[in-house]
Structure formats: structure tokens, C-alpha cells
Structure 1
Amino acid sequence: MSQQTKWSQFGTLIIVFFFWGFVAASNSIFIPFCKKYFDLDQLQSQLIGSAFYGAYFYGSLLLYLFSYLSNVDILNKIGYKKGIIYGLLISVVGAVSLALISTSANPSFGLILVAFFIIALGFSLQQTAANPFAIALGSPETGSHRLNMAGGVNSFGTLLGPLAVSFMLFGSVSAAKEATLGNIETVYFILAGLFTLAAIIFAFSKLPKVTSDEKLERSPKALVVLLIIGLVFLPILFADAIKTSTGIPKSVIIYASLIIILGLLFASMFMAKKDKTGWGAMQYPQLVLGMIAIFVYVGVEVTIDNNFGALLLRPEFGGFNEEHNSHLIALYWGSMMIGRWTGAVSVFNLSKSTKRLMVIIVPFVAFGIICLANYLKGNPIEDFKYYPIFLLFLVGANLYAQEKPVKLLLTVSLLAIVFVVVSLFSTGMLANYCLIACGLCCSVMWPGIFTLAIAGIGKYASQGSAFLIMMILGGAIIPPAQGALIDLDLGTEVNGVTTGPWTHLSYIVPLICFAYIAWHTISSKNALKKQGIDFDQQVAGGH
């Protein structure tokens, strides 16, 4: 008999999912603002994302390193619940720091990066604990659906994040104000208060102490690879200083780091096939494939959006400046909410016909909420009028996949490829819509990739989860890789707006990412079949 989802406990857990989305999506507004305020190029502005998502890697790596050196799985020892509480308190320090930096006499972009790093450092501990916790609070077969539901709450945060930060920076469209760093002091003090409140709620909640009882499995070979990745990533954070001292272009640093990191992960998988000793969770090909897929998925999700502001500035894509693009950015992140709310339908014990009906209704209800939020903020929702057409693609993908994670992951990956190709060969709102609709496809990728990756790895589930969280590092590398292409247009301005082909062509980066995820889905399914695991069949049996 399948274990029933513990709804009251799960409801407490998803609070932190909201915070991750709110802060991560608000970076989309903060990045173009900092680019203008501190006079940065596109690649430099992406360092906010590099600091934010790089912290996920270093936070998880430090946790794993301390566990390795002490021969005690620290997260298992303290429990997932306390792990989330400690993570929230670390994020409090980062949010307060950012608020104080914003109001200082001479705000430093470098210190802002440090504050974002600290906030995300707390998030890394929260995510390492929360994802397996969500899977544990019910039947393993429906774990991906619970992650979808938690992701839906996360996406509600991503919807509100850009709107809230845009309002704090610029006010409403009808009553715009001059943006300064001081404008955001309130929002980050409020966030610090909410992080603190959430920590208190978790401290007094009756969440079970869910951990793995297995002893810590040492994996020295995996540790060496991860430490090398950490070293290879560091030059990206200091790309400006390296260029000044050596003359090496920042784009070369970015792409060299990207190629080396991906090469290390693929090489690890092949070496582990020959000799599993010392690789721990990385001895399983589905886990390594999942690590690369998480790296690529987070990277593509972030890069589409973080570089979207540069595209929207162009006249042929609407000429939206930083003060007036928050509604389209919110629609992108809102599309993540639409997809995850739709995916979460599978969690509920409904008849098949009712589920199909909900899969059709929920996307349009969620879209209505997005329109309402933007209307209340004063944004021009007439730009949304044709977007419901794209919701039909999401409905079709979910009905076709029939609640099977692998089938759904492959379907949305191929759909995203089509959207990006259309966007590359078009302009105006059609191109904008296609890029925004990639959010619908990205929405269900995380749970599909995550659950596929840890399927069949048994006692290494906790370690595998930590390795997967580390790969959020992709959000720190792929966006500046696309930003480097956009910077090829620098110096070609007309009426103060950068022109040239590369801002548009740079979206070939997301195209490559989605192509990889499609290939990964097939490869992971085949790897699991060789181990006697048909994941989609298991999930179908679990229902």
C-alpha cells in the first residue's frame, strides 16, 4: 500500500520553497538595475547570478566536506528540520547585510555580491534538506508530484518577487519614481523578518526528524572532482580582476570553466563505470547524468530570464526599459507557477477524468491570478492577451504524458526546443511569448530530473541529493556565458539602445541546453532500465 502524503507537515515545509522563488526571481529586476546603476556590461551584471547560484555549490560542498572529514553525515545528524532552520538563519544575515549595504553612503557592487552569496548560502542548506524531506513525506512513487506542488509554491514566490522588487525600485507604472539602491532597503528587511518568522515556525512545528539511518559512505574520488570544480569556478567570480592583470578576455574564462566542469562530470561517469570504488553516489550513471542535467536546467531557466531584459530593450522586441519590463519577467516566472500548479494535480487522490479536467482548468486559473497580480501592480496586461494560446501546449503535454515523469520531461524538453527555434527566427511579441513559454516547459523539469537521478541509489540518497543541489552552480555559469555573447554587440548603439545581432542570437545557448536535457532523459531512462528499473512504470503502479 502506498504511503499517504502527510499534508499538514508538507504544508509547513513548502514555506521555504516560496522564499527561494521570491528572491531568485527578483534578481531579474535587480540585475538590469545594477547594470545601469553601477555602469556594468552584460557579463558583469550576471555576476549577481554567479554569486547567488555559486553559493549553492559552495554551501553544499562545504557541508559534504565537513561530513567527509568528520566521518559523520552532518545533515543526517542534525536532521532535515534543523538543517532548514539553520539555513533560514544564515539567509537572515544575508538579507540584513543587503539592506544595510543599500543604505550606505557609498554602496559597493562587490559587497552586494557578498550579501547575495550569504542569502543563497542559507538557501543551499535549506534545499539540501527540503527536497529529500518532501519526497519522504509520503509515497516515494509520488515524490516527483510533491516536488511539483512545492515547486508551485516556489513559483508563486517567483511571480511576486519581480513585481515586489520592481514596485520598491520604481513604484507603479502610473507613478514611477527614480530608482536608487535605498529603495530596496524595506523589502530586504521584510525578507529578513520573514526568514526569522519561518525559522520560528519550523522550530515549534511537529515535523518528524526525517533522515537516513545509513552510515556515511566515503567517496574520495567524488570529493576530488567536486573540489576541482570549485577551483575551476572561482575565476568566473574574479573575471574582471583576471582580465585586468593578464588580459585574458572574460568570455574565454567563462567558456573555459564551463567546458572543463562539464568535461569533469562526463569523465567521472566513465571512470566510475570501470571502477565504482570511491565514487559513492557518483558510481550510478543516472546520478551523474542528473547532476549535469540539473546544472544545465538551472542554467537555462536562469539565463533565459536574466538576459531577457537586454532583449526587451531592443525596439524590435518592444523597447521595454527596466522600469516597464517587470510584467513580462513576472509572466515568465508566472509560467513556472502555471506549469507546477498543473503538475501538482497528480498529487491529489482524484479520479482520472477529474484529473484530466483539472489539468485543463488549472493553467487558466493560474494565468488569471498572474493577470490579477500584474493589474493590481499597475502593469499593462494587454501584452498578455495572446499568451493563453501557449497554455494549450502545456495542457497537451500533460495529457500526453499521463503523469509519467520521464515521458513528461522528454515532451517538455522537445517543446522548449521548438519554442526557442521559433523565437530565434522571429521578433516582437511572438519571440517574447516563445521565450516566456519556455517557463512552462522548465516548470516540471526539476522534479523529473531529481527523482530520476536518485532512483535506485539506495543508501546514497542523501549524498546524491547534496551532489544534485551543488549543480545549481549552472545558474552561475550559463547566464554569463550567454551574457558574453550579448556583449559582442557593445559599441553599436542607435538612440542610446545597443544594436547588433548577438543579443538575439545569444538565445542559441538555451537551445543547446534544452537539447541536452532531451538527450539526458533518454540516457537516464536507459541507464535505469539496465539496472532493472522502469521509472515511469513504477510511478504508474504507485497510482
Structure 2
Amino acid sequence: MAMPIQTSRAGGGATSAASGAPATSYRAALTLLASLFFMWGFITVINGTLLPHLRSVFELSYTQTTLIESVWFIAYFFASIPSAKLIERIGYQRSMVVGLGMMAAGALIMVPAARMPSYEVTLFALFVIASGITLLQVAANPYVAVVGSPETASSRLNLVQAFNSAGATLAPLFGGYLILGRTTSGTAAAGAAALTPAERLADAQSVVLPYLIVAGVLAVLAVVIARFPLPAMGAATQRSAKADRKGLSLWTHRNLVFGIPAIFIYLIAEIGVGNLFINFVSQPDIGNLTHQQASNYLFLLWGGMMVGRLVGAFVMQKVDAAKVLAVASIGAAIVMLIATFTTGHVAMWALISVGLFHSIMFPTIFTLGIKGLGPLTEEGSGLLIMAIAGGALVVVQGWLADAYGLQWSFLLTVACEAYILFYALVGSRVTNALPDARVA
């Protein structure tokens, strides 16, 4: 998820806006940073296969299951401001290394959590991983936006978004094979008898190998980034921006004021669909699949988001972004209504197709939200990043699934799409537009 910062180059030539580095240096840096976007997309979406696994191991209700994901997104709220202060203190590169280290530590905590097994320790481990991802988000997004020519900032941000989607697309296959495919609950037919205590213990320990692999990859990536000569982002640009911001208010910008809840509400829709997908399509009257088989269809959901993002980027070169967002919200609402009121493969494929419509929503809302902020762009972007914490309210959908049924809970998603439509048609209109921020 990218945090655009509008900039303009003060000199000529293909140089970094932040440091004046030649193009060859920041191309290599961008290639390396793309791996960060891949990893946090991968680790975030692997929860889609982890949650049905934990639901079986700990015999959780839907409310307790979605609480796991809520803890994940609560980290965005609590860790965003400390992350910004840490970056100010130790710099962007060291902060990225610390973020990767936190993620690796959280992955290692999953090992004793699985061996106990402990629901509470699992929640703590996931909170640590998510806090590390938050630090990466706050550090890497603005860095990618300014490392290189300002004229190509949008292209760079779309590129790393594609890597994020690639990680999200591959995660269900990894989790399906190494977690669900190696457990009794993951390979059992829908409606099978409850697991015995011995089977639950064996299933719980199936996450040890996957998270050891993830921890190892993160540790190697941390070492590589620590030793890589990333172009520096100078403090002079921050002082200049502070002078430009004096006397200006974020709250006079309608598109930002309505954009913050739009991001918050969109995350409820995206995360709710992704996290309950496997449980939904596994039901006898929907797909009648094992959890392992259902994870292959989750791959199609996230793959659809990657394809939709590429198509959307092309379409928005010719069509107004707000209009594209409006069409996407209407399409998402229609397929979610089909998923709610039908059964069988019609309902299953309707839920899969929502990925195509959700694909462009986050980056489009984000872009519309910071439009016209000028020197306030960085602060506005920070508030939009904090709004990712909206994913924590997916627990509301878990409560609805317990109280009224899993299928009926998707009406919450329909309500979320209605607000996105309002934002596209009304809330995204720019007020009090300011000139673009300038950095030397």
C-alpha cells in the first residue's frame, strides 16, 4: 500500500529527489525495496489460510477467529506514530531493518505458540509481526515515492503495488500446501467429525515449518538491506516542508476528511472477504471443498486483485479515477449480494470475483484523498495509513456470522461498498486545493 508524496525536482538530469543520486543507484534500490512490498503482502494474506486452521485447532467461534485479524490491524493504529518517531530518530534504512527484525521475531514466537498450543501467544506473535509491517509501511512508502525522478513517482508506486499483490497472490498457495495440506482439519471433508485432542495438537504444530521459513527469509532480507547503500533522504526537505505547512489545516480538505473513513471502511470489506473466504466456500451448500482445496480458490481471489490493479491503472489513464471507483463499488456490491442470496458455485464465484472490483479501491481512494494537499500531503498520507486500522473491525463481521450466519454477514460488505460509492461521487471532490509540495 503506497503513500504518495508529490514532489518536484529542483535540478536537471535523472537524479533522486531526495539525494541527487544518479538513476542507476535508485533503480537498484527500488528493485530491493520491491521485495519489502512483496513480503508484507505475502505475510498479511497468509492469515487467510491461518485463520481457518486456528479456528479448527482452538475450536473458535467466528468472533474469536476474526478477533485474530483485528489484533493484526490494531497494530497499525498503535504502531504508526511510534514508527514515525523512530524513523525521525534513526532514519529510513535502519527503520526498515528494525521492521524486518520485528517481523522475524514475531514469526519465531509462532513456534512456541504452536507447540503449547496457545491462542493468546498466537495473538501476541501476530501483533508483533503486524507492528513490524507497520514500521515498514511508514518507512518504505514515502521512500519509494521520492527515491528517483518525481515525474515517474506514480509509475514506481504502481510497480511496488504490483509486487505487493504478487505476494498476496502466492500466499494462499504457500499456506494451503504447508499449513492446511499437512493437517487433519485442512484435508477433512466439510462437516467431518470434530478433531480429537491429539489431532488438534498435531495440527497446531503444522505452522512451525512455514513460520521458520518466513523468519529465515526476513532475517536474510534485513541483512541485505542493512548492507545496501540506499540513497539518503536529507533532513533539509523536512524543514522546508514544515515552513510551507505553517498556518494550513488538513481539515479544510473535503476529499481527505471523507477519504480517511473511506480507507477505514474499505479495509473492513477487503479483510472480511479474505478472512472468511475459505470457511464460506468450504460449506456443503456452496463449494463443498476441504480447506486445502478452498485455499486454491483464495489464490484466484487475490490474483484477481492483481489483474484488476493492472487493468485499472491503464483505464485511469483515460477515465476519471472517481468514476472508475464508483463503477467498482457498484460492481462489488452486486457480486456480494449474489454471494449472500444464492448458493452453490454461483455464490462461490461471485465471492471470488469481488477481488477484481476491490483491486483498485485502496490506491484510488488514497490518491483521491491526498489530491490538492500540497505541502500537507505527507501528513495527510500518514492519517490515511493509520486508517488501515479499519481492518480491525472485521471482528464485527465475525459477530454477525455467529449471530445470523456466515452468508448473511456479507451484507456488512455491501454496506461498506455503499460508502465507497458515496465517496467516489460526492466525498472525493477537492476543496481548498494547494500547490504541489516542493523539495530541493
Using structure 1 for the length normalisation, give the TM-score.
0.67
SS for the counterpart of 2:406 is helix
1:96 has 2:108 as partner = yes
Q: CA deviation at 1:77?
A: 4.8
Q: CA deviation at 1:303?
A: 0.4
Give the whole-Å Cα distance in 2 for the aligned partners of 1:333 and 1:172: 22
1:314 has 2:283 as partner = yes
Q: Which residue of 1 aligns with 2:31?
A: 11
Matches within 5 A, 1:139-154: 143-154=153-164
Give the whole-Å Cα distance in 1 for the aligned partners of 2:375 and 2:88: 12
For structure 1, list consecutive stretches of 5 or more residues without a partner in the other structure: 68-73, 219-275, 347-397, 490-501, 536-543
Q: Does the 8 Å contact 2:53/2:180 carry over to 1?
A: no
Give the whole-Å Cα distance in 2 for the aligned partners of 1:303 and 1:142: 34
The total of aligned residue pairs comes to 400
Matches within 5 A, 1:452-531: 452-477=368-393, 479-489=394-404, 502-528=405-431, 530-531=432-433
2:70 corresponds to which of 20, 43, 50: 50
Give the whole-Å Cα distance in 2 for the aligned partners of 1:7 and 1:312: 42
Q: Which residue of 2 aligns with 1:445?
A: 361
Give the whole-Å Cα distance in 2 for the aligned partners of 1:157 and 1:198: 15
SS for the counterpart of 1:107 is coil
Q: Does the 8 Å contact 1:149/1:340 carry over to 2?
A: no
* Change in CA separation of 1:147 and 1:429 when aligned onto 2, cut-off 3 Å: farther
Give the whole-Å Cα distance in 1 for the aligned partners of 2:154 and 2:358: 14
Q: Deviations over 1:138-180 (max 9, x none)?
A: 555654443332222112111221211221124379x959661
* Change in CA separation of 1:62 and 1:10 when aligned onto 2, cut-off 3 Å: same
Q: Does the 8 Å contact 1:76/1:211 carry over to 2?
A: no
Q: Which residue of 1 aligns with 2:179?
A: 169
* Change in CA separation of 1:285 and 1:81 when aligned onto 2, cut-off 3 Å: farther
Give the counterpart letter for 1:146 in structure 2.
R
1:126 has 2:136 as partner = yes
Q: Which residue of 1 aligns with 2:167?
A: 157
SS for the counterpart of 2:210 is helix
Matches within 5 A, 1:64-463: 67=85, 74-103=86-115, 106-138=116-148, 143-171=153-181, 180-210=203-233, 213-215=237-239, 281-343=250-312, 398=315, 402=318, 404-463=320-379
Q: CA deviation at 1:295?
A: 0.9
Using structure 2 for the length normalisation, give the TM-score.
0.81
Give the whole-Å Cα distance in 1 for the aligned partners of 2:254 and 2:150: 20
Q: CA deviation at 1:323?
A: 3.3
Q: CA deviation at 1:211?
A: 5.9
1:37 has 2:61 as partner = no
Q: Does the 8 Å contact 1:424/1:505 carry over to 2?
A: yes
Give the whole-Å Cα distance in 1 for the aligned partners of 2:125 and 2:111: 9
Q: Deviations over 1:207-264 (max 9, x none)?
A: 222366234969xxxxxxxxxxxxxxxxxxxxxxxxxxxxxxxxxxxxxxxxxxxxxx
1:23 has 2:43 as partner = yes
* Change in CA separation of 1:79 and 1:447 when aligned onto 2, cut-off 3 Å: farther
Q: Which residue of 2 aligns with 1:383?
A: none
For structure 2, list consecutive stretches of 5 or more residues without a partner in the other structure: 1-7, 15-22, 189-198
Q: Does the 8 Å contact 2:95/2:135 carry over to 1?
A: yes
Q: Which residue of 2 aligns with 1:394?
A: none
* Change in CA separation of 1:440 and 1:311 when aligned onto 2, cut-off 3 Å: same
Q: Does the 8 Å contact 2:41/2:168 carry over to 1?
A: yes
Q: Does the 8 Å contact 1:316/1:427 carry over to 2?
A: yes
Q: What CA RMSD, in Å, does the superposition of the two structures yield over aligned residues? A: 3.1
Q: Does the 8 Å contact 2:49/2:180 carry over to 1?
A: no
* Change in CA separation of 1:210 and 1:414 when aligned onto 2, cut-off 3 Å: farther
Q: Deviations over 1:378-413 (max 9, x none)?
A: xxxxxxxxxxxxxxxxxxxx3x76265333323322
Higher relative contact order (CA closer than 8 Å, sequence separation 6+): 2
* Change in CA separation of 1:524 and 1:321 when aligned onto 2, cut-off 3 Å: same
* Change in CA separation of 1:476 and 1:525 when aligned onto 2, cut-off 3 Å: closer
Q: CA deviation at 1:63?
A: 3.5
Q: Does the 8 Å contact 1:152/1:336 carry over to 2?
A: no
Q: CA deviation at 1:532?
A: 7.0
Q: Deviations over 1:63-102 (max 9, x none)?
A: 45xx4xxxxxx53453333322221111111111112322
Give the counterpart letter for 2:302 in structure 1.
W
* Change in CA separation of 1:211 and 1:454 when aligned onto 2, cut-off 3 Å: farther
